[in-house]
Structure 1
Amino acid sequence: MTTTDTSTESGGFSAAERAAMKERAAELRAEGKKGAKAADGLQDVLASIEKMAPVDRALAERVHVTVTATAPELSPKTWYGMPAYADADGKVVLFFQDSGKFKYRYSTLGFQDAASLDDGDLWPVAYALVRWSPAVEKRVVELVRAAIS
């Protein structure tokens, strides 16, 4: 998914995108208990992203938009304070760890055992993420699609 009208100083969410996500959270709460839980998860993810340093925040926002567009069946939630996306059973499939979390030089896009990335006897489950680009977005889409297949 490419973005056309989402530019901000940080390269993250536009004001319109933020407003739309808040509206969606309100809609989910209105759906009842299950919707309220989903809304709370979304709000928690957005709050965790908001606390990040600008560079990490921009990456986390692009990851969030890409994951939710590619795999709408995954539910946003926080996992150890990090933005994460869980399957219908509540198992975390993937997460974003900002570089500031443990003072790393890069952010991490990681996958848990619920992700279907198996490839023989050895496969990567975490990826260093330094900068967002169309090539990075394409690769993240491919990984998310594989993870949910």
Structure 2
Amino acid sequence: MAGNNTTKKTTKKADDETAVLAAIAAMPKADRDVGERLHAIIKANASELTPKTWYGMPAYAKDGKVVCFFRSTEKFNERYMTLGFNDIANLDEGPMWPIYFALKELTATEEMKIAALVKKAVS
């Protein structure tokens, strides 16, 4: 029976990642390009996070709890994409710290900042 349970978990993870990739693919072109990079950055820097959709957005969870997510400009008719972190993310820094970031584009500098944030969030 344990083998069957492992197969179900593997299938669910594959289905969840497929859903995340489909959510990214459905984004407008500019957001899709950024979303594909964000997905790669998050997976490369926090392999312990599991991709899943959360309210239709690409999200990444640890032990079933969403650590971070991003949403396209069209989600709430905003002028920029948003990268967000939930309270499970280990980003606490003094009495106040940012948990949402506006993304207009990704340069190497932003990619490095995001990689560092994701690593810290799961530390």
TM-score (norm 2): 0.94
Equivalence map 1:44-83=2 (5 Å): 44-83=19-58
Partner of 1:90: 64
Q: Structure 1: which 4+ aligned runs deviate by more than 2 Å?
A: none
Are 1:127 and 2:109 an aligned pair?
no
Equivalent pairs counted in the alignment come to 118
Q: Greater relative contact order: 1 or 2 (C-alpha under 8 angstroms, separation 6 or more)?
A: 2
Q: Secondary structure at the match of 1:32?
A: helix
Partner of 1:138: 112
TM-score (norm 1): 0.78
For residues 40 and 122 of structure 2, the distance between their equivalents in structure 1, rounded to whole angstroms, comes to 16
Shift of 1:45: 0.1
Are 1:35 and 2:10 an aligned pair?
yes
Shift of 1:133: 0.6
Shift of 1:129: 0.5
Identity across aligned pairs (percent)? 50
Shift of 1:110: 0.1
**RMSD after superposition:** 0.7
Structure 1 gaps, min length 5: 1-30
For residues 108 and 25 of structure 2, the distance between their equivalents in structure 1, rounded to whole angstroms, comes to 23
